Structure 1
Amino acid sequence: MRVITNAQPPRTTVPETSPGDDPLLRLRQDTEEDHPRIRFTTHPDPITITGITVMCPACAARRDWMVICDVPGRVFLRCRCAHQWHEPELTRADFDAMINAPDRKYPSLDAAARDTGYDGTLVGTYLTDDFDTGE
């Protein structure tokens, strides 16, 4: 009896993965955009539009905002009382002028609001940028 062996190597090879290495997760991380769909920054100072200081319609706050910008370029303001509204007078260029260095990434806007105190827990509270005691 004659045995025929395949002299050619297999055409495809499966890449080796270590335990816990998920190829789909790795692909998602490799293709994830550097720019999230919603960006935000905090702005402790008053915001003035056409000479009028912005005031929260829910609690009358005049400073300490979360400024949010989505992909179409719409700008929203959010107060410490968690009231949020679209501000059509502000543009993406205005937002870009306010934004500081990139901050942490958050899984959602709600998580960012909760972490930065714009979820209603600090309603009526104004925080200073630096906590220098004057020493």
Structure 2
Amino acid sequence: MFRRRADREFHDAQLAGQAMLQMHANWPAPDLTAPAAEPAAPAHGGGIEEVPDFPPPDLRVPSRHEVEGLMMRWEQPLVVDGEVRECPQCGAYRDWIVFSMRDDTIWLRCRAGHNTAEPRLDPAWYNRNSGPVDHFHPTLDDGLRHLGH
């Protein structure tokens, strides 16, 4: 009983869809051979009006390839491949600065200022875990100061 009603509803929906397709098939095609209307000439004189750059140069940010690298703070312990990452020099295991460099390497800096490469991380990991870029700094020291190191 329910199967017949479902089959009938499905058949009615198919007929309605075919009618709609037939209706669209009977519409006239647009006239693509007619030339497009000529754009109106500017009122202030002949020639092409130059559009200023958008956004203005003072509002543009550098691209990723124009900066030496990106940095973010990582306050909790850093777990890589199931192991807590420690600084090889001082044994610190939290409060890192993570650098993603232009050459696609990841570097870690502990609170004591020791730098070490982390080959098990890549820029994709950095992009997944970092937020949007909120500041650009002219020097490394300015960036570290901004992040509290």
Determine if the TM-score, normalized by the shorter chain, exceeds 0.5: yes
TM-score by length of 2: 0.54
Root mean square deviation, CA, Å: 2.2
Q: Structure 1 residue runs of 4+, over 4 Å off?
A: 29-32
* Residue in structure 1 matched with residue 10 of structure 2 by the alignment: none
2:72 and 2:147 in contact (8 A); partners too:
no
The one of 131, 138, 145 aligned to 1:100: 131
Secondary structure in structure 2 of the residue aligned to 1:39: strand
* Residue in structure 1 matched with residue 117 of structure 2 by the alignment: 86
* Residue in structure 1 matched with residue 63 of structure 2 by the alignment: 34
Aligned-partner Cα distance in 2 for 1:55–1:115: 23
Q: Which has the higher helix share?
A: 2
1:80 and 1:117 in contact (8 A); partners too:
no
CA deviations on 1:97-120 (whole Å, 9 max, x unpaired) are 1211212111122321233333xx
Counterpart code for 1:87:
E
Residue 59 (1) aligns with residue 90 (2): yes
Residue 113 (1) aligns with residue 139 (2): no
Secondary structure in structure 2 of the residue aligned to 1:104: coil
Any stretches of 5+ residues in structure 2 without a counterpart?
A: 1-55
TM-score by length of 1: 0.59
Any stretches of 5+ residues in structure 1 without a counterpart?
A: 1-25, 119-135
Aligned-partner Cα distance in 2 for 1:75–1:96: 11
Counterpart code for 1:34:
S
CA deviations on 1:69-106 (whole Å, 9 max, x unpaired) are 11121000001101011111111111111211212111
Aligned-partner Cα distance in 2 for 1:88–1:34: 24
Counterpart code for 2:63:
D
Percent identity of equivalent pairs? 27
Relative contact order, CA 8 A, sep 6+: which one is greater? 1
Q: Which has the larger radius of gyration?
A: 2
The aligned length equals: 92
